[in-house]
Structure 1
Amino acid sequence: MDKHASAASHLDSLGIHGSYRPQDVTFLLNVNEIEPTSLVEKEYLIQSGKKHYSQMISVEHPPSKEQMQYFDYAFDQGAERLARDVQKIGNSLLSRFGNQPIVLVSLVRAGVPLGVLLKHYIGKNHRCFHYGISIIRDRGIDFAALHAIIDQHGAENIVFVDGWTGKGAICRELTQNLSDYLALFDPGWDIPRLVTLADLGGYSWLSASCEDWLIPFGILGSVISGLTSRTILKDDIDHDLAIKNCDDPQNWHSCLVYQHLRPHDISVVFIEKILKIIDLNPCTDVADWNNQIRLVQQKNCLDTIAWISNTYRIQNINLIKPSIAEATRAVLRRVPEKILIGDSANPHVQLLLHFAQEQNIPVDILGAKLGPYHAVTLIKKVEKN
């Protein structure tokens, strides 16, 4: 057994897989227990600064019949595009890394389904490893988990994976976290190696596109992400100490595994369906992506967020959740004030319009004013009763 194979086995034995198979992904996370917090109480505690969002989690309910109908619609409309985009990203990575192994590090949760698909596509004829680790806005990446990967595989061939960018907050967090470690990753690049399906914010190192589209796994939660929750960090961690103790999994961030949602779990079934489409429709294209595309997209994003912030008098831009996927998750996990839509006839925003009607959320139709986004959710300011 070579070094890389034994390293993979070592980390596999320490991590978890959720409802995925061992060959899909290893989550370097602890499974924790935490009492759920109601959406309104959570929103108040976040906005008041009394607690960070990573210290709380609300109950995740099974997807409704209507939500699954929209997921089926998103799958029918977007599965072939997803299969093609996975191949484009995979082909680009294969061309860049030559014969070197590729170590995929998915950011839990949104990056995991894409990471699993890339792992299988790249791994057919190339050595590839796949891990899922936590990154939390304003708290940073799980350095202990990341350092455990570096300790086993080195840093030269690490590629971070996320599903999409909205405003680019997570990529900026990643960039800041790795500022002292850039030489370990790729001294020829001024941003971390982050790949995404759709880079609305203009921050990715590599992306299949910068279009806001109805990514099928973007409108569901744990039932398409191995039954894992959003990651949890109950208490602040001393990152320097965590790195020194990188061999101790107790320093890793945590998650829940939602066993009560197992009857609704489609994580592996979804992967198998997309892989079958890939097999039936092979693609040799690479992703059309470069720094000029990225910077133009970044300016469009920043200008649009500034316009929304000024128009709706929002001082904290964390209350602005742009992109179809991010807007949908905000409606499900936060307390929405309003939904902004570019075109109400766009089939990609119909689930959001359904939620708006169901929950009496006001909707503004803004056309081209939304810039690169088809949808944005604004979070309601919540005060204690």
Structure 2
Amino acid sequence: MTFSGSYRAGDVSFLLKPIGVEPILDLDEKERLIQSGRRHYSEMLSPESLPSPAYLALFRDAFAANRQRMARDCLRLAALIAARRDGAITLVSLARAGTPVGVILGHLLRRVFGRECSHYSVSIIRDRGVDEVALRHILRQGHSAESIVFIDGWTGKGVISRELRQAVDGFNARHRSAVDGGLYVLCDLAGTAACAASGDDYLIPSSILNATVSGLVSRSVLNQAIGPDDFHGCVYYEQFAAHDQSRQFADGLVGDAVALAAAEGVPAAQALDARAAATTSAAYMAQAQRRYGIDDVNLVKPGIGEATRVLLRRVPQRLIVRDAGAPDVAHLCLLAAEKSIPLTIDATLPYQAAALIRSAVDG
């Protein structure tokens, strides 16, 4: 069974199985379980709550400030996709950060570029790969392997883009298919995406919120409730419906992008130096590990999007920002203050923000 969450039926088909999951209330215990290897992060969910009025105000400020930039990048990415695919296009967004981007791109490909376009949202999990039940379902619907384009919001240090490529390569070998495992994103900080609209670390407004900007769907889950023929799981937060921003957010960005295309034409693709981005990423990861005494690279999360995830659902050890007065990091500084997380200002930081997860081994 597929469903569209709080989006319109034509916006997206979530290839996820709605299940009940008892949230892990003790985040310190959750970190100990993950970092000790006793539980995989995909088996557990942190409690999800509605944003505070102050935090929601920051989301609205970020949307107002960055909506034109995001709209332009969505338009640019849609143009790149249209140029690289012939015929019908099958967008496959990675739940859940990729879902709002996929919804927007689907509308732009149809309305601005006149292309036939379908959109599915599927699960990918670090160290577990992409949901192959979902991929097989997409191919059974009559979509060609060559039409598939994987979508996400951004890359941080490139873990998911590498996971995706490896998983799809394995899928193709087993099923004799030709799915392109490259990832298409709005901003590529790691230099690992197949295609990106930008290489800059800027605040993508949808990264600030969780379910209420992603169709009321949780992060994907892979636990004992998921059988071999099931899609990966999720929780559907129907109780948040009155506070949902998902349609309003996507519709606003689509309207902005369509207006930009009419007024200015489609923006030209930017030349992105993926090799330079990858070099910067590797150098920063090594420097951060040395400076802060971190053995596990998974505890370092570069970029605004990744830092936001850490402060919302992990146990942060430190927030690092390049400029604490920059509007793009205001929500991070608020979260750090609310949670009494140490804040470090580093003018040499190659990104606007980074976050460190506290080591459960060190206590």
- Give me the TM-score of the superposition, normalised by structure 2: 0.93
Is the contact between residue 108 and residue 258 of structure 2 (CA under 8 Å) also seen in structure 1? no
Q: Is the 8 A contact 2:226 2:232 kept in 1?
A: no
Q: Mind listing any 5+ residue stretches in structure 1 that lack a counterpart?
A: 1-13, 243-249
The separation in 1 between residues aligned to 2:177 and 2:274, in whole angstroms, is 23
**SS of residue in 1 equivalent to 2:123:** strand
* 1:280 matched to 2:229: no
Aligned-partner Cα distance in 1 for 2:145–2:178: 5
Gaps of 5+ in 2: none
1:162 — aligned with what?
152
Structure 1: how far apart are the matches of 2:225 and 2:17? 15
- Distance (Å, rounded) in 1 between the aligned partners of 2:335 and 2:226: 37
Q: Please tell me whether the aligned partners of residues 188 and 199 of structure 2 are also in contact (alpha carbons under 8 angstroms).
A: yes
The answer as to whether partners of 1:85 and 1:287 remain within 8 angstroms in 2 is no
Counterpart contact for 1:349–1:375, Cα < 8 Å = yes
> Match of 1:352?
332
Q: Give, in angstroms, the shift of residue 194 of structure 1.
A: 1.1
Aligned position for 1:382:
360
Q: Is 1:175 matched with 2:165? A: yes
- Mapped to 2, the partners of 1:237 and 1:58 lie a distance apart of 19
Name the CA distance, whole Å, in 2 between partners of 1:254 and 1:222. Answer: 14
Amino acid at match of 2:239: H
- 1:208 is aligned, of 191, 194, 197, to 197
Offset of 1:273 from its aligned partner? 1.1
* Residues 193-272 of structure 1 mapped to structure 2, 5 A cutoff: 193-235=182-224, 250-272=229-251
SS at structure 1 position matched to 2:191: coil
2:23 to 8, 14, 36: 36
Structure 1 residues 129, 141: closer, same or farther in 2, change over 3 A?
A: same
Q: Distance in 2 between matches of 1:192 and 1:174?
A: 6
Q: Which amino acid aligns with 1:57?
A: L
- Whichever residue aligns with residue 304 of structure 2, its letter is I
Deviation at residue 289 of structure 1 after TM alignment = 4.1
| Residues in 2 aligned to 1:149 and 1:74: alpha-carbon distance in whole angstroms | 35
User: 1:56, 1:27 → 2: CA distance?
Assistant: 20
- Secondary structure, aligned partner of 1:156: helix
What secondary structure sits across from 2:164 in the alignment?
A: helix
Q: Secondary structure at the match of 2:324?
A: coil
Secondary structure of 1:277 counterpart: helix
What number of residue pairs does the alignment pair up? 353
Q: Name the counterpart of 1:4.
A: none
Cα deviation 1:52-75 (Å, max 9, x = unaligned) = 011111210001111111111111
* Distance in structure 2 (CA, Å) of the matches to 1:73 and 1:228: 24
- Are residues 1:69 and 2:57 paired? yes
The DSSP-based 3-state class of the residue aligned with 1:367 is: coil
Give the corresponding residue for 1:9: none
Match of 1:246 in 2: none
d(CA) in 1 for partners of 2:164 and 2:225?
A: 17
Structure 1's 92 and 286: CA in aligned 2 closer, same or farther, altered over 3 A? farther
Q: Is the 8 A contact 1:207 1:287 kept in 2?
A: no
Task: Report the alpha carbon displacement of residue 217 of structure 1 after superposing the two structures with TM.
Answer: 0.1
Distance in 1 (alpha carbons) for counterparts of 2:338 and 2:284: 28
Amino acid at match of 1:53: Y
Counterpart CA distance in 2 for 1:304 and 1:265 is 36
Q: Which residue is equivalent to 2:300?
A: 320
SS of the equivalent of 1:33 reads coil
Residues 185 and 195, structure 2, Cα contact 8 Å, conserved in 1: yes
* 8 Å contact kept, 2:5–2:236: yes
Instruction: Tell me, yes or no, if the aligned pair for 2:165 and 2:182 is still in contact at 8 Å.
Output: no
User: What's 2:42 paired with?
Assistant: 54
SS of alignment partner, residue 70 of structure 2: helix
**Cα displacement (A) at 1:279:** 2.6
Deviation at 1:192, TM superposition (A): 2.5
TM-score, length basis structure 1 = 0.88
Counting aligned pairs with the same residue, the percent is: 40
User: What secondary structure does 1:356 align onto?
Assistant: helix
Secondary structure in 1 aligned to 2:186?
Answer: strand
Q: Name the residue aligned to 1:8.
A: none
Q: Matches of 1:54 and 1:344 in 2, distance apart?
A: 32
> Would the alpha carbon gap of residues 68 and 93 (structure 1) be closer, same or farther in structure 2, given more than 3 Å must change?
same
4+ runs of 1 displaced by more than 3 Å? 182-186, 235-238
Distance change in 2, residues 1:237/1:68 (3 Å): closer
Shift of 1:42: 1.2
Q: Which residue is 1:10 aligned to?
A: none
